[in-house]
Structure 1
Amino acid sequence: MKVPVGFIAKLWSFIKFLPFFILLLILGILKALFISPIAAGIIGFGNSSVIIGLWPAHFFWTCYCVVRTKKLGITLKIAMLLSLPLPLILWPVAGIFGSFLGGTGFGFFSPVLATFEAVGENVTDKFYHCIFDGCWATIQGSCTVVRDFTDFCFHSYFSYMDELIMRTPADEEPVEIQLSRLPGCFLVSLVGLLMDVPSITVLALWKSPYMLFTGWKRLLEDFLGREGPFLESVCVPFGALAIILWPLAVIASVVAAFLSSFFLGLYAGVVVHQEKSMRMGIAFVVAAVSLFDEYANDLLYLEPGSCLPRPRYRKNVPPDSIQRRSSHDAENSLGKDGKEGLSDSKLVSQRSRTLKAAIQHYKPFKVLDWLFKSCEVNGMEFLNDGLINVKDIEECVVKGDCKKLGTALPAWCILKCLLASAKSDAPGLVVSDEADLTITNWPGDKMFQWLIEPLLVMKEQIRKLNLEDNEEACLRQAIMQCKNETPEDWDDIGFPSQDNVRRAQLQSVIRRLQGIVGSMTRMPTFRRRFQNLVKVLYVEAAKTGALVSYIVENSTGSNTSQGDKLDQTSQETDEGKSDVANIV
């Protein structure tokens, strides 16, 4: 699209586009008014049924796990058991209300968004898509939300609880509350509330005019010139609403700062308990204001850092560690030539100011798309090579034992990515042939940051090991067939290196990868997409003839019933093929 130049041209472009935008917005709202009650009903009643049906089990099992766990001391256990009933009782109320509210919002905004997507440059028959896009897809998406929520409540929750009561190492001390420190904690928390709440609120009010006028300036410049986010039709309604509702966003940010100041003030008591020092707690009360000021400056692209004092509040952490870490991150975001951004021009600067640039950043679902596509490709290779057989698929489908498929296969895909990234000297993770996943473009979701940052550390560890090609070839068999607990576990696979230290380092990486995958399996969408992946592998096994051979070999005895269950899965193949399109 040609961007107009000059005030008159920009104004005329704005006048021409305004009726078109209003008509699309009205059409989207009419569709939303029809679809929103349906989506709210599906998500609201579906999630409510899950919440009410599992609430007795959740209530009992949460209390049981708190009693059984050895990770908590007796005092902390008693405190948690006394405080748990209130949130457990409020959970159904909050969950049901949130489900209906979220369903209403999803059912309203999804059709509006799809209406503007239908007028994109690559869309044919725009009139048809403007009318019907976002209707049936929103209803299907509502059903998917209920399914993912069910998986989280039925599988992820119990996985978290199982980890809580898991046997702990003998040298690990339980988390405990020292009663003698509580008076000091309460006193410092009170001081934190009295100092941090008004100080942070005043800072937020002081910076709010700059946030208001700077935001308006940037949004209006893009809107009049059809630049930035307004080049994309799908972003226009949100950009226009952002201009109108920007004062509300500023007010909301001030309110959020006011509410967060309470948590910062109360956290001073936690610092007192951790550092065993009231002086450190008071130091955190002062430092919290400086931390908030620096965060606000970074958010508003003001001068980095803060002129406010920041005393040392950790005994084993230098007082300026946060500042040095911020400077280090800024240096990492610069290329070797000193320019902002990395050498790959396709990557986006972390300080990009446009909504369009933000859209180009990796999102969590894109990372999952890459992972499951990689699992599909590598899983088919393993089927052909015999590292995965029909028995593994049977155990996953019939018995629910998906340790090999659900843990080892994704762990190998991530390890393969780490090996390629280490070889290429890439600044991040090579997730495709076109771009890397780096600190400048990884998902902003905090959970993904917790998962990705350890991968970057492991990549550097693998790079220092300088693996040979024959060693990398054996890793595939090692991760799929070995327990990887001791160096001797690799004796049967013919690992070329006899250095036990080298083996132990690689096995440590594999175990950490399996732990990361175990954490990823708790994500709401993971289980659904993994079941689709199993269907794809089942179809591939049927094509290669391995499935027929396996059923013939196990057609007698108890395996007959298992074969019947696999045949039932075969009847779902057509549905699986349609779901595979979502993976790709």
Structure 2
Amino acid sequence: MEGRDLETPGGIIKDLAKRVDMEAPNEAFPSMWSFIRNLPSFTLLFLLGITKGMVFSPLTSLIMTMANSTLIAILWPIQTFWTYYCILRSEQLGWGLKLVLCLCVLPVLLLLWPEFAALGSTVGGAIYGFLSPIMATFDAAREDKPDKVFHCMYDGTWDTIKGSFLVIGDFRDVCLHSYFSTMEELLQKGNSDGGYYDIRLLDFLGGSIIGILGSVVDTPVILLIALYKCPFMLFKGWCRLFHDLISRKGPFLETICVPFAGLAILLWPLAVVGALVGSIISGIFLGAYAGVIVYQESSFWLGLCYILASISIYDDYSNDVLDMANGSCFPRPIYRKKDMQSQAKPEESQSVRSCPSLTDLVKTLILELQPLELLDRLFNECKRQGEIVVSNGLITLEDIEHAKSNNDITVISIGLPAYCILQTILRSAKADSAGLLLNDNVTEITTANRPQDVFFDWFLSPLLIIKEQIKAINLSEEEEDYLSRLVLLGDDPIRMKNSNIKLPPESKCKCAELEALARRLRGITRSISKFPTFKRRFGSLVEAVFEDIMKKNDGSRPSRHKMSKSESAIGRFLKQISLKNKTGNDETDEEPKVVIERDVESKLT
């Protein structure tokens, strides 16, 4: 019976619980002795880290506040004008939506943006400057570090200052590269069928009223629920931390972490207070979402139903987090029309619930992919593929040098990452993988083991859809090569035409499908490139690729003209204004494209 019981997930959990209870007493005394033995060194390192943090926290806060505030003050007039200009000139937005954005939304955002950015820089810089030296001090005390005394004193000092400048650089990239790229996409033409985004003014007014009402109602009720559950969170958290201390699990796994994690036991009440503050803030946005429900469902009544249901949702979610009884004492009315329709249908399919596969459960627990690990693999793949395409002549050293000079070379900044993602998709399609198979041919990203970040929610599903479309098309090697060239050189029709490539597919329908896939993949990559740290890390990658190629060529540098660094985001902004003034409203749509193609051709030559 015991063997049969272990075949179920419940039996496995019970067996693991018994093992933990059996092993805990055997390791209790060594753990406590390790705690007492490391307590003096931990106290000394902690005091040293706090001292360095108190010194560098005001400095990093001052540096980040002054730099970011100066950047905001310089760009605020330009961004204000350019935002209004792009919204008013955009063909993707209807006049109702333009009216609401220009009169209600943009004034509030543009007026609050400098204050919140400065406040965030001050608080974020202070927190970073305080915590970074502490973590660096403890990291320097690891057993594999040589000259521990020097590193305990030095680590976290100059590195913290350099880290603050990296944050400033990422903030600059967001204000320049990401912002102007988004505005440029807004100026592009809308759908070919003439469709555009608009807003229903009556539903918008009703949603605004219900959104305010939802915040007013939900915030105090959620606060009362959080206050009621704070003692449970406090004592359950302490029990879990003490259990981990005895059984050497979680943060107590490493010996050096035992005192530091013991500090977490003492500071756990602060985490409870932070959770309480987070509940108050979440109550504001959770209630305000009722306005979105009103607009989406075009129903004032369903918005009121959501206000009541959101309280039940929060109560049920907090019960799950705290391992309390499932469900909620609050009613949860239906606030979606589709849920009303599905409730009216017979629910025969719900009578039989399939048990989750134990193999999938083990895979999910063992393989936990981290976001930074995936980004590192993407950039490493870009470096490897970059050297290959340069050796094949698809990308020239002039392209890389232009990219190093911050010129807008989309073959490098967009085409190369999109090309690497395409190779991953093709590899996954050939292996008949359920997700995306990375370049080690072992690690697989699926919807089960993907990092739980909104970033991956936005981009993983579209990539999986593209993979299924490629599998359905059943491409030949020539068609795969043609699609790869389209993805890499799609924004440069001249180089695409002159590249040594076999004729495109004879079927015009197949050719149109490949072009659509290439445009979509480049669009996804362009959206990824707007996120913070991407531009900085990709710039480092381009520099590394260039240095590796120069080493392989024995330092021989091709003859080229002296490059200008004036092609910045502001330069593109001024050039677009002059281009609009030259073309005018009465000219055809083909003339600006000719001007842009000539400008691109002049850059390449």
Asked if Structure 1 and Structure 2 have the same fold, meaning a TM-score greater than 0.5 normalized by the shorter chain, the answer is yes
Note the C-alpha offset of 1:237: 6.6
Could you say if the C-alpha distance between residues 490 and 253 of structure 1 is closer, same or farther in structure 2, counting changes exceeding 3 Å? farther
Match of 1:347 in 2: 367
CA distance in 1, matches of 2:321, 2:379: 34
CA distance in 1, matches of 2:159, 2:502: 51
CA distance in 1, matches of 2:193, 2:526: 24
Aligned: 1:460 with 2:468? yes
Runs of 5+ in structure 2 lacking a partner? 1-22, 567-605
Note the C-alpha offset of 1:465: 4.2
- Among residues 501, 512, 522, which one is paired with 2:530 in the alignment? 522
Q: Where does 1:46-57 land on structure 2 (aligned, <5 Å)?
A: 46-57=67-78
Q: Where does 1:130-529 land on structure 2 (aligned, <5 Å)?
A: 130-171=152-193, 173-181=195-203, 184-185=206-207, 188-189=210-211, 192-193=214-215, 195-232=217-254, 239-301=261-323, 309-316=331-338, 336-338=357-359, 340-342=361-363, 346-348=366-368, 361-363=369-371, 365-397=372-404, 400-433=407-440, 435-469=443-477, 471-482=479-490, 493-494=501-502, 498-529=506-537
Match of 2:53 in 1: 32
Counterpart residue identity of residue 17, structure 1: N
8 Å CA contact 1:196–1:261 kept in 2: the answer is yes
CA distance in 2, matches of 1:491, 1:249: 59
CA distance in 2, matches of 1:270, 1:161: 25
Match of 2:38 in 1: 17
Note the C-alpha offset of 1:547: 8.6
Note the C-alpha offset of 1:498: 4.5
Counterpart residue identity of residue 416, structure 1: Q
Note the C-alpha offset of 1:111: 1.2
CA distance in 2, matches of 1:183, 1:397: 49
Aligned: 1:531 with 2:551? no
Runs of 5+ in structure 1 lacking a partner? 349-360, 566-584
8 Å CA contact 1:484–1:490 kept in 2: the answer is no
CA distance in 2, matches of 1:461, 1:303: 44
CA distance in 1, matches of 2:295, 2:69: 39
Q: TM-score, normalised by structure 1?
A: 0.79
Counterpart residue identity of residue 91, structure 1: W
Could you say if the C-alpha distance between residues 371 and 120 of structure 1 is closer, same or farther in structure 2, counting changes exceeding 3 Å? same
Note the C-alpha offset of 1:447: 2.5
Question: Greater shift after overlay, 66-75 or 145-154?
Answer: 66-75
Note the C-alpha offset of 1:198: 4.6
8 Å CA contact 1:478–1:490 kept in 2: the answer is no
Q: SS where residue 524 of structure 1 aligns?
A: coil
Counterpart residue identity of residue 396, structure 1: A
Could you say if the C-alpha distance between residues 391 and 489 of structure 1 is closer, same or farther in structure 2, counting changes exceeding 3 Å? closer
Could you say if the C-alpha distance between residues 135 and 185 of structure 1 is closer, same or farther in structure 2, counting changes exceeding 3 Å? closer
Counterpart residue identity of residue 448, structure 1: F
Percent identity over the alignment is: 40
Counterpart residue identity of residue 26, structure 1: L
Question: Greater shift after overlay, 509-518 or 457-466?
Answer: 457-466
CA distance in 2, matches of 1:453, 1:438: 10
Q: SS where residue 269 of structure 1 aligns?
A: helix
Note the C-alpha offset of 1:276: 1.8
Note the C-alpha offset of 1:409: 0.8
Note the C-alpha offset of 1:377: 0.7
CA distance in 2, matches of 1:316, 1:492: 53
Could you say if the C-alpha distance between residues 444 and 242 of structure 1 is closer, same or farther in structure 2, counting changes exceeding 3 Å? farther
Counterpart residue identity of residue 378, structure 1: Q
8 Å CA contact 2:479–2:504 kept in 1: the answer is yes
Match of 2:588 in 1: none
8 Å CA contact 2:411–2:491 kept in 1: the answer is no
CA distance in 2, matches of 1:546, 1:478: 32
Note the C-alpha offset of 1:342: 1.1
Q: Where does 1:117-136 land on structure 2 (aligned, <5 Å)?
A: 117-136=139-158
CA distance in 2, matches of 1:171, 1:402: 31
Q: TM-score, normalised by structure 2?
A: 0.77
CA distance in 2, matches of 1:546, 1:513: 36
Match of 1:568 in 2: none
CA distance in 1, matches of 2:72, 2:316: 41
Number of residue equivalences: 533
Match of 2:118 in 1: 96
What is the CA deviation profile of residues 137-161 of structure 1, one whole-angstrom value per residue up to 9, with x for unaligned ones? Answer: 2121122111121121122111122
Counterpart residue identity of residue 114, structure 2: P
Match of 1:66 in 2: 87
What is the CA deviation profile of residues 371-403 of structure 1, one whole-angstrom value per residue up to 9, with x for unaligned ones? Answer: 111111111111111111134235434581311
8 Å CA contact 2:207–2:295 kept in 1: the answer is yes
Note the C-alpha offset of 1:82: 3.1
CA distance in 2, matches of 1:301, 1:420: 42
Question: Greater shift after overlay, 156-165 or 86-95?
Answer: 86-95
8 Å CA contact 2:57–2:126 kept in 1: the answer is yes
Note the C-alpha offset of 1:109: 0.9
CA distance in 2, matches of 1:470, 1:305: 57
Q: SS where residue 400 of structure 1 aligns?
A: coil
Note the C-alpha offset of 1:253: 2.2
Could you say if the C-alpha distance between residues 110 and 197 of structure 1 is closer, same or farther in structure 2, counting changes exceeding 3 Å? closer
Q: SS where residue 146 of structure 2 aligns?
A: coil
Question: Greater shift after overlay, 237-246 or 384-393?
Answer: 237-246
Q: SS where residue 528 of structure 1 aligns?
A: helix
Coordinate RMSD, CA, aligned: 3.7
CA distance in 1, matches of 2:316, 2:421: 35
